[in-house]
Structure 1
């Protein structure tokens, strides 16, 4: 039943204005609408995320959400040029690309933290061969 329904991400923010500057100025997102004290951003494939105020932002030690992208390294390079710093997890197994993405288990991935301390990721599907 739920498998056929769209799923949306929640992105917690301690400071909505600061978070909006990050998502809109650094990542280049455009808001679809402001609602319930937060902001909705739409993405490909009919997906979306709701940036909302909460004092609990940045408390998860795991990724909050990821973007499925066709070329992680190209996205990393573009985002680095906008001032984004990517996380380096030294204990992460896999091969590292020149940009710093990790390839393992059929995916190439890179992680960064937003202005609120939430861990976000870029994921590219790659062949295991």
Structure 2
């Protein structure tokens, strides 16, 4: 049953207005579908979407929560930096970034935090 259904990522936000500003003005996403003052749905490529919802638990996860596939990660990282996005630098077994981008056997990746402390990423397949 589920294999035929659309998937929607879900991201927590302590401050939904601040998150709306980040996703719209910093990342450049189209205005969201506003379900109510505590729930926003953003659309992205190929019919994908994600929900931003109000909760005090935002920013508590220590793992990547959502990502976008990229065909030009260096260009996308540069463009997002121009918009004020700060990319994380990591150095641990299996992942070491250089100028914000890690090269792995399966591709390249870059991570950044949204306004709520959620870990997001870009990924370009090898």
TM-score in same-fold range (> 0.5) = yes
Structure 2 residues without counterparts, runs of 5 or longer: none
Distance 1:92 1:78 in 2: 28
Q: TM-score under structure 2 normalisation?
A: 0.91
Instruction: Please state whether the residue corresponding to 2:91 is helix, strand or coil.
Output: coil
Match of residue 42 from structure 1 = 43
* Structure (1 or 2) with the greater strand fraction: 2
How many residue pairs were aligned? 125
Closer/same/farther in 2, CA of residues 84 and 92 from structure 1, 3 Å limit: farther
Q: Is 1:31–1:39's contact at 8 Å kept on the other side of the alignment?
A: no
Distance 1:116 1:32 in 2: 17
Closer/same/farther in 2, CA of residues 32 and 114 from structure 1, 3 Å limit: closer
Q: TM-score under structure 1 normalisation?
A: 0.89
Closer/same/farther in 2, CA of residues 76 and 70 from structure 1, 3 Å limit: same
Distance 2:89 2:56 in 1: 26
Match of residue 20 from structure 1 = 20
Structure 1 residues without counterparts, runs of 5 or longer: none
Closer/same/farther in 2, CA of residues 110 and 92 from structure 1, 3 Å limit: farther
Distance 2:48 2:122 in 1: 15
Moved more, 88-97 or 63-72: 88-97
What's the offset of the Cα at 1:96?
4.8
RMSD of equivalent CA atoms: 1.6
What's the offset of the Cα at 1:32?
3.5
What's the offset of the Cα at 1:62?
0.4
